[in-house]
Amino acid sequence: MIKRFFLILIILFFFGKLSMSQIDIKFSTDTTVICEGGYIQFSDLTVGDTVFNWKWDFGDGTNIDTIQNPLHQFNVAGTYSISLTASSSNTTQTKTKNNLIIVRQSPQASINYTDTMFLPSYLLYFKAFIANKDDLLYKYYWNFDNVNYVHGDSTAIYSFPSEGSFIVSLIVEAGKGCRDTVFDTLSVKDVFEAPNIFSPNGDNLNDIFVVKSNGESELVLDIFNRWGAIVYSQTAKRLQWDGYSSAGVPLPCGTYFYHITSTKIKGYKKSGVLLLVK
């Protein structure tokens, strides 16, 4: 029994010594996506036997010896595989992570915005444009109030509180420390416009009589026929008419008259002649 006990101890000792002579290479990075000229911090996490030498291959033609946790700069856009070779007094092992690092071009961003007849004049549609856009994901941060940036998509809709001059800014981020910030100053006007002709024939072209206003003031629309009778009425912040009477009957082609007033703002009114064609 005693001999068997010592035999087990010897076996355990040699197996333990053997296992300690091995190394399991592990490493991490502080990020995997940067732009040209950016830096990535590499950290050796190897376990097992004591390592006395490290050799890093960054996939861009650059090798570093003896440094355990290097900081490396990538200058050319592309995808890079990273290898770490670690050596102890008993063994040398290599670990490779394929296509680990993505280096992108720094985004060149701009802001486009649209103000159409179908949107209230205080409400604008914004779209981020990237001149050198690639197929990878970007992060977009919009600022409309000169205070807070809001994480969103490449498009945004914002309703301004009033007419005036406003600064809109956009941050486009492509990776760690890789971003472009753009600013645009725009003038928001209190527009009050109405077309003089429309054709509700179902072809999706000018089918609806749309009154362009600020979208904030409540308005009253009255449509009169040529004999002065009201055929349609509406109260809303956004006025539109599809050519039907208030009873839901399609009205004939011809000349109509419209009159628009505000329920709250004195002097905010508009009148005109409207031609309905099909």
Residues 6+ apart with CB under 8 A from 237: 120, 213, 215, 216, 217, 218, 219
Q: Residue 26: which H helix or E strand, with range?
A: none
In this structure, is residue 149 part of a structural domain? yes
| pLDDT value at residue 8 | 45
Domain boundary among 78, 104, 130: 104
Two structure tokens written together for 233: 């009425």
Residues 55 and 120 in one domain: no
| pLDDT value at residue 264 | 85
119 pLDDT exceeds 60?
yes
Domain boundary among 54, 89, 104: 104
Q: Write the CATH number for 235.
A: 2.60.40
Give the span between the Cα atoms of 204 and 213, in whole angstroms: 22
Give me the number of domains the chain comprises.
3
Q: Residue 264: which H helix or E strand, with range?
A: none
In this structure, is residue 122 part of a structural domain? yes
Angle 140-143-146 from CA coordinates, rounded to 5°: 155
Q: Percent of the chain scored above 90 by pLDDT?
A: 78
| pLDDT value at residue 13 | 42
CA-to-CA separations, 172 to 104, 145, 157, in angstroms, rounded: 13, 18, 17
Q: Write the CATH number for 148.
A: 2.60.40.10
Domain boundary among 130, 156, 188: 188
Residues 170 and 234 in one domain: no
Q: Report residue 117's pLDDT band, with 50, 70 and 90 as the boundaries.
A: low
In this structure, is residue 96 part of a structural domain? yes
* Closest of 215, 239, 240 to residue 124, by C-alpha: 215
pTM over 0.75: no
| pLDDT value at residue 5 | 45
- Structural domain of residue 37, as residue ranges? 24-104
Q: What is the pLDDT of residues 194-243, one digit of tens each?
A: 999 999 999 989 999 999 999 888 999 999 999 999 999 999 999 999 99
20 pLDDT exceeds 80?
no
Residues 61 and 87 in one domain: yes
In this structure, is residue 4 part of a structural domain? no
In this structure, is residue 167 part of a structural domain? yes
Residues 238 and 263 in one domain: yes
* Cβ atoms within 10 Å, residue 198: 22
